[in-house]
């Protein structure tokens, strides 16, 4: 019941404020920017030239220093980029702006 729609530029300051207000965020990201690798179509293999761009949603549940703590449901098999991991704040913002430009904040 209830809720609020806010239209705002996505910045690290906006994300930081939402997390400090006890929210978790569902964010649609461009995965090759987030992972630093491009996935081959139909396989969990990566190739910088032949790989494609694609996106999916992740959950941002906290922050530590200059990094966001995320839960990524995609089984990347990339060391440091699988399941629960942290990502540079600016990298997350750019990855979001490339793919969908939306985020959903949900009160814990």
Of residues 32 and 106, which shows the higher confidence score?
Answer: 106
Average pLDDT over residues 72-84: 78
The most distant pair of C-alpha atoms in the chain lies apart, rounded to whole Å, by: 47
Contact 82, 76 (CB under 8 A): yes
* Domain spans, the chain: 12-107
- Is the CATH code 3.90.70.10 the one for domain 12-107? yes
- What's residue 81's pLDDT? 76
Q: What is the pLDDT of residue 63?
A: 97
Which pLDDT does position 46 carry in this prediction? Answer: 58
**Across the strands, what pairs with 59?**
26, 71
| Structure confidence at residue 102 (pLDDT) | 85
Please state, as a whole number, how many other Cβ atoms lie within 10 Å of the Cβ of residue 89.
19
* Residue 45 pLDDT: 62
pLDDT digits (tens, 9 = 90+) for 5-62: 888 889 999 999 999 999 999 999 887 777 776 565 666 665 665 656 667 889 999 9
């Amino acid at each position: 019941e209830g809720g609020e729609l806010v239209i705002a530029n996505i910045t690290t300051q906006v994300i930081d404020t939402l997390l400090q207000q006890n929210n978790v965020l569902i964010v649609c990201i461009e995965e090759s920017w987030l992972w630093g690798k491009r996935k081959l179509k139909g396989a969990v293999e990566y190739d910088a030239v032949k790989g494609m761009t694609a996106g999916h949603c992740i959950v941002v549940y906290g922050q530590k220093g200059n990094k966001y703590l995320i839960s990524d449901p995609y089984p990347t098999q990339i060391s440091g980029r699988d399941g629960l991991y942290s990502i540079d704040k600016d990298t997350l913002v750019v990855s979001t702006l490339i793919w969908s430009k939306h985020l959903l904040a949900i009160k814990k």
